[in-house]
Each structure stands twice: as C-alpha cells, then as structure tokens.
Structure 1
C-alpha cells in the first residue's frame, strides 16, 4: 500500500517541503506596499528638506549677518537635534511608526515656516531655530531605516534591497534639493515674504501639509510587539531549547524572563567579535555621512571662493544636483547587485570608489588643476561611492544580530549618521578657511581608519545576500 492511500498518514517528505516553503516565504517577505511607499517618499521629502537650502544657505546667512561657518552649522544642526529627539520618541513609539510619522510632518512644517519668516523678521538666529525644528522631523530617518530592516515585516533576504531603495531616494533628494533651491534663488521672487531665500521654506511646508493627509489616510502600522504579559507566558521545554534559526550563535531567549532580564541575557551573548562588527558599521556609517555632508556644504563655498569658478547659489545647486542625478542609474543597478553580492563586498566597493574620488581631489588641489570637469569627476565618484556604502551598514547588522536588536541597532546606526551629518556640514562650511588640503586630508584619514577595522573583521562580516 502506498503512503498516499493512508488517510491519516502524513507523507514523510511533506513536512520538510512545507517547512522549506515557510522559511523561504519568511526570508522574502515584504511590508504593506502603500505603507512602504509612504516611508520611502517620506525619506525622499526629508532628504529634499535637508538639501534644498544647501545652495543658498551661505547667501541667506550672509544677508542676515552670518558667515560661511554659520551656514555650515545651519545646514548640519538638524541632524544633531534629530539624534536628541530620538531619546523621547523611542521611549513612546511602542515599536511602531505612525506616531513618529505624525511628529515628523508637524515639525517639518513648523521648521520650514520659521526658516522662511527669518527674512522678514531680519533675525539671523531664526533660520537656526527653524532648522532645529526641522531637525525633530529628521528623527524619522531612523524610523525609515528601521522599517526597511524590521524582522516583523521584512525578510532577511529583502533588507539590503529595501535599504538600497532608501539610498535611491537619498540620491534623488541630494540631486533635486540643491537644484530646486538654486533655481528658486535664481528666480528670486523679489518680495520680502516670498523670495529666493524664503521660497524653499514656504513650498516645503505646503508639501508636508498635503503629505500629512496621505499619511493619516493610507499608512498602516506594523503589529504591536508582545506585551510583558505575553512574554511571560510559559513555554514547553522543546520550544525553550530551540535556537534562533537565523542567528545560530545566539540562543532564543526564554519568554518566561522579564524584559530587562531578557535584554541582559541577550547582551551577555553578544560576542567580542560581534561588538567589533557593531563598532565597525557605526564608524563606516558616520564616515560616509560625514564626507557626503561636508562636500554638500563645502561645494557652494569653495565654488564661490575659486576665482575661475565664481559660482552663484544657482550654479552650486546645479553642480551638486548633476553629480547626484548622474549617480542615479548606477544606484538602480546596485539594486540588482544587492540580490547577488554579499553586503561586505558592496560596502568595500563603495568605500573604495569614494576613497578614489578623495585621492583624485587631493591631487588636483596639489597641482592647482581645479576646473569644472575635474571637480565634477571627484564629486561624482565621492557621491556614488559613499551613497552606495550607506545602504549596507544597518542591513548588515540586522542580519548579524537577533531580531530583538533591530530597534537598538537602528538607533546606533542613525546616531552615527547624524553625528557624521552635523560635524561634516560644519567641517565643509569651514573647509576654505582651514585650508582645502587639510579639509580633504582629514576625510582620507577617517576612511583609512574604517579600512583597517573592515579588513580586520572581513570574515565576520559575511551575511546572506539580498
């Protein structure tokens, strides 16, 4: 008699097939599409908000009595405020996303309005206050990254892909933000309320107001995490001994433990090597955003100060935008590479490419051969390389550590990003005054430190593709 003829008998291979199918579905799962689009679009809008003032901030600050270093602070300060904002937000978000989305939309509107009103009020520090308010909205950068690596809604083989989509949005914001900022400055709108300096603030405030309506109507939040009571339910000995399937080095924590004790138990199981990976990824993330932020803040100042360039905000905005938009097709191609190549190889390639751009820039500074073409080649290489690298850091960590650590690693990486952004923007604004050779030399040294850490931990950085 065949096994199929027995009504109450399970085929010995069926459970294996079902288990394999279930594992595949889990590894390739994706979140609700409308909600995913909202998070990606919000990431794009926040990038626009960050970059739209880059091309004209120096002129705006100068009109109100500030200098180039102050304009660098205005550009970079929001990310510092965003890092501080995560302290209360992560205490009350309950592991979910809708509340931070509402907070972000609200403060984006307030910040852009304050930035625009500073012209009429003729008050220099109001643009700084406005950017600080906008900085609260930038706290959502962390939630966008966490959403794309959240094990509740994203499979392990989809995280690098979604992180790369985030970088595509980042690149679009890097391109369109400075372009529109420079274009609005050139048009001028000779009006004390709506002009080249203030129009970016008014327009972005209106866009956020409309987008807030869409968030309220269409965003579907993730399921809430288990409560303490649910975590305290006893489980069978068989389940208690079962290891975490994706993290063989970290056993599953017994749900009978209280949350604080559970965290301490998980913490004790993180090895010295895993801590090394965490530090390495945080450093790489900080360096990437430090360099990107410093170049974005420095190019308008350096271009205006270089005699044979003599850029206006419109010229600087076009130059920055051209570098970003040229990177765009390569970042789309990177979406395909992310499914086939290991994260560590993509990170190594992006960082090496960015370093090549820095070394080329150092060379043209030393030889005095700075022109539009040579500077663009350096900017394109730096922008492409370090943008590619930023897609990897959090997705790699999310695959290395237990699912319960996703929120913590998201905060670690995002605080590294914020640190890089704010210090990079200040360094970029000060680049001409400290000397451009010193400016680029520091960036090369920071990449060198990351390279040492990266090569030391090369074997430990291996993860699943996708």
Structure 2
C-alpha cells in the first residue's frame, strides 16, 4: 500500500462504473479504480437511485490505522519542543548550587532554599487548568495549540529570571521567590512536553514511547547543564563587585539571554499541526472516540498507580538534588561549583543510557522498562541507606548510588503517559497527562522542600522514606503487571 498526499481533500475516481440492478430493480454502484487520497480503503453507498432524482452519492472513506503507526510531527517542531524541555530543566536546576548561599545571604534558611527550588512546580500545578483552556480552544476540534503555552513559557521565564537576579540588588529575599513563581508559570510546559510526545493526533502508536524517551533525555541533559552552568558561573563571578552580576545571579542572567534567542527561533520556525494539516487523519481518532466507554475499575487503579509512580520518581530525584549541595558542603567541604559538577557529571553519565532506552523502547514493553527502572532505584537506595546508617559513605560511593538512583527513576518514569495512551481510550488521554503531571509537580515541590530540610529529617530518615515508597511502587506493579501487557509491533 502506498500513501501519498493530495491537493484536494475530495478523492477522485477513474474508470467506468458498472451499475447492475438487484432483484428489486434498484441500482447498485461499484467502482473499479481509485486514486489521489491518503486513504487506502473505501466504499461508496448509493441510496436507492430510483427514489432520488439528483442521484446523490453518500461516500464513506475508511482509513487503515496501521499506515500511521510510525507518523511523527514536523521534525523542526519536535526539536523546538524538546529544546524547550531542555531549557526548562536548565532554568529549574541552575539555581540549585547557589540557592542555599543566596537565601542565607539575604537572611533566609536552608528550608527556604528548598522552597525556592521547589515552588515553581507548585505554581505550574495551580496554572495547569488555565493553560489547558488557553491551549485548547473549541475551534481547534480537539487539537492542542502547543505554540501558545510555549510562547507563554518564554515570556514568564524571562520575567522570572530578571526578578530572581534583581533580588540581590534590591536586598529583598522574597523577590527570589516571586521570580521563581514566574518560572513556575513557564513550567506548565512540563505537561506539554509529555503530551506532545504521546499526542494521538500527532504521533503514531509505535513512536510514543520513543519520543517520551527523548523527552526524558532532554530533561536529563537539562539537569546536567543546569547545575554545572550555575556552579561554573558562580565560581567565575564570585569576585565581582556588582550586586547585579554576582556569583548568585550570573546563571539567571545567562538564561535570560538564552530564552530571548529561543523565543525568536520559536516564533519563526515552529509549525503547528491542526486539522487543516493533520499528520494523522482525524477519522482514525474520531472512530476510536465514538466507542468511548466509562473507565473501568482496573483502568482507574492503573491511572492512580501511574500518578503514584510519577510522584515517587520525581520526589526521590528532587529530594536528592536539593540535598546534595547541603550534604556535600558539610561532609566533603564542596563549594557551589563542585556540587554543580557533581550533579552535572551524574547526568552526563546516564544520558547515553537514557538514549539507548529510547532506541530500544520499540522492542521492550513499557511495563518492563518501569520494572527495570524501579529495581535499579531500589537497589541504589538500599545500598546508600546501609552505608549512611553505618556512617561510612565516601563521596565515590555516594556519587555512584545517586547516579544509579537518578537513572533508575528517570527510566521508570519515562513510559508512564505512553503506557496510559495505549491502555485508555482517546477521550481520556488528556486526563492521563494531567494526572501524571500533577504527580510530577507535587513531587518536585515537596521533594525539593524535604531535600532542603535535610538536617531536620536526617539523611537516614530521607533515604528510608524514599526506599519505603519505592517498595510500595514495586508491590503495586506486581499486582497490575498482567493488565499492562502490550503487544510489541
């Protein structure tokens, strides 16, 4: 079967029509040839021509869904979307190496530092519904206008970085928080990064886990560059006499410039996919949607479990990342630059494995990817907890265990929305994306606060909490295992 584009949405027919009569004397229409449409199957009904003087023809075109399993959106749009994911994670993590020192300089505490790191995702959760309304107007017939939240993310990131940087000049602690809250509005894009990778109207069935893996890769690279860049700029600006460009603000000024350049590229290069230039025929989705049934009990349990999996994965990663500058400063006498490099090196190590997982996702089930990730995370947490309880946790072991846990939970959380998009009917795909993003946003906020409060909880207490949540996730996965089996195609 060959698929080709046509300049006209109306299929054209060639050849002669043989019009026999049935036993009641009614004429039946059959076509011998067909050309000029993306559709590969068709049939034509002719409603009792003897009763209709105008010989009207009712056409019903049926599309073969298997022809669109490998479809992708425009490549430049994919690149801009995932670069937005990368930049968002850089903006989110670039403050981690200097956040504790910056807040102490302005009179804050380590717990306030954790709030500074984590508050953006809480704001993104609050702004989620308004952004959904903004990006999904009724006239789009179900298509999401991704460019709208992307432009919004650019504007609010620019405002947020400026406010964060000017807090030192203004000597106003809460201006840091205000700036990060504007960043939080921009971070509603975390939902759209995941949604774009699994959008049933843009991405074929076989490509969803693949693109989701690339989104995780972009996030991982962002988590690598962010702390490293923040620590590097802090080191080279620490002798600055200016309160505008200082060791605390240099990173955010650099991100301000980068977001300006990205905004220009976005406005000129991003190509929106709507019903007028659809990559996947809407008839495929509308046919599935017309058969929508209420969620079953099993599907509701699965949805709740995906929320929990997202929550524990990002909670553990966020609590680790927020606690590392505090932990390494006390036990290893690390500077902001060194703790930034610690986080960056870990992300650099796992990035190739994330990429490999994306490539292999076509041959490995989503549930198997989740299991592997959670088992790796569990093993790393268990070893780290034992060493911490024994008060013998050298920096090398601490780094290795953090890296394995980071990779494990990044891998385990990668296929969540992709899996739900395969298990749930199209009507519930947006709901699934929102449920997972709510888990991510809550986890990033609570995890960052808990990591910033490391000495109140104690390292052993924090790791025991992480380990317990992971055990619960593995137990539930064992119970739902047989319900989330996918056929590899």
TM over 0.5: yes
Task: Provide the residue aligned with 1:132 in structure 2.
Answer: 181
Matching residue within 41, 60, 67 for 1:25: 67
- Bigger helix fraction: 1
User: Are 1:164 and 2:213 matched, yes or no?
Assistant: yes
User: Are 1:335 and 2:358 matched, yes or no?
Assistant: yes
Task: Provide the residue aligned with 2:114 in structure 1.
Answer: 72
Matching residue within 96, 102, 114 for 2:145: 96
1:452 is displaced (CA, Å) by 1.9
Task: Provide the residue aligned with 2:140 in structure 1.
Answer: none
1:140 is displaced (CA, Å) by 0.6
User: Are 1:385 and 2:427 matched, yes or no?
Assistant: no
- The residue correspondences of 1:83-122 to structure 2 (distance < 5 A) are 83-94=125-136, 95-122=144-171
The structure, 1 or 2, with the larger RCO (C-alpha pairs under 8 Å, 6+ apart) is 1
Greater shift after overlay, 364-373 or 278-287?
364-373
Secondary structure of the residue that 2:206 maps to in structure 1? coil
d(CA) in 2 for partners of 1:379, 1:447? 15
1:458 is displaced (CA, Å) by 0.5
TM-score for the superposition, normalised by structure 2: 0.83
Matching residue within 376, 398, 401 for 1:375: 398
User: Are 1:58 and 2:100 matched, yes or no?
Assistant: yes
Task: Provide the residue aligned with 2:327 in structure 1.
Answer: 302
Matching residue within 222, 228, 239 for 1:179: 228
Task: Provide the residue aligned with 2:267 in structure 1.
Answer: 216
Q: Provide Cα deviations, 1:343-391, integer angstroms capped at 9, x if missing partner.
A: 0000100111011111111011022221111101111101110111121
d(CA) in 2 for partners of 1:41, 1:176? 13
Task: Provide the residue aligned with 2:422 in structure 1.
Answer: 399
Task: Provide the residue aligned with 1:192 in structure 2.
Answer: 243
1:157 is displaced (CA, Å) by 0.7
d(CA) in 1 for partners of 2:487, 2:169? 54
Q: Does the aligned pair in 2 maintain the 1:161–1:339 contact within 8 Å?
A: yes
Matching residue within 38, 44, 48 for 2:86: 44
d(CA) in 2 for partners of 1:243, 1:92? 26
User: Are 1:201 and 2:226 matched, yes or no?
Assistant: no
d(CA) in 2 for partners of 1:441, 1:120? 41
Unaligned runs of 5+ in 1: 1-5, 12-16, 226-230, 245-251, 255-265
Q: Does the aligned pair in 2 maintain the 1:157–1:464 contact within 8 Å?
A: no
Secondary structure of the residue that 2:290 maps to in structure 1? coil
Secondary structure of the residue that 1:55 maps to in structure 2? helix
Q: Does the aligned pair in 2 maintain the 1:319–1:376 contact within 8 Å?
A: yes
User: Are 1:34 and 2:76 matched, yes or no?
Assistant: yes
Q: Does the aligned pair in 2 maintain the 1:53–1:181 contact within 8 Å?
A: yes
d(CA) in 2 for partners of 1:465, 1:56? 46
Secondary structure of the residue that 2:274 maps to in structure 1? coil
Task: Provide the residue aligned with 1:247 in structure 2.
Answer: none
Matching residue within 455, 459, 463 for 2:486: 463
d(CA) in 2 for partners of 1:117, 1:463? 51
Secondary structure of the residue that 1:154 maps to in structure 2? coil
Matching residue within 446, 449, 462 for 1:423: 446
Larger radius of gyration: 2
Task: Provide the residue aligned with 1:261 in structure 2.
Answer: none
Secondary structure of the residue that 2:73 maps to in structure 1? coil
Task: Provide the residue aligned with 2:4 in structure 1.
Answer: none
Secondary structure of the residue that 1:49 maps to in structure 2? helix
d(CA) in 1 for partners of 2:115, 2:71? 41
Greater shift after overlay, 139-148 or 18-27?
18-27
d(CA) in 1 for partners of 2:310, 2:488? 20
Secondary structure of the residue that 2:107 maps to in structure 1? coil
Q: Relative to structure 1, is the Cα distance of residues 465 and 62 closer, same or farther in structure 2, using a 3 angstrom cutoff?
A: farther
d(CA) in 2 for partners of 1:382, 1:76? 20
1:36 is displaced (CA, Å) by 0.8
1:22 is displaced (CA, Å) by 4.0
1:432 is displaced (CA, Å) by 2.1
Matching residue within 185, 192, 197 for 1:148: 197
1:341 is displaced (CA, Å) by 0.3
TM-score for the superposition, normalised by structure 1: 0.87
Q: Does the aligned pair in 2 maintain the 1:43–1:141 contact within 8 Å?
A: yes
d(CA) in 1 for partners of 2:488, 2:183? 36
Task: Provide the residue aligned with 1:453 in structure 2.
Answer: 476
Q: Provide Cα deviations, 1:71-117, integer angstroms capped at 9, x if missing partner.
A: 00000000000011112111221232111111110000000000000
Matching residue within 463, 472, 482 for 1:440: 463
Note the aligned Cα RMSD (angstroms): 2.3
1:445 is displaced (CA, Å) by 1.1
Task: Provide the residue aligned with 1:413 in structure 2.
Answer: 436
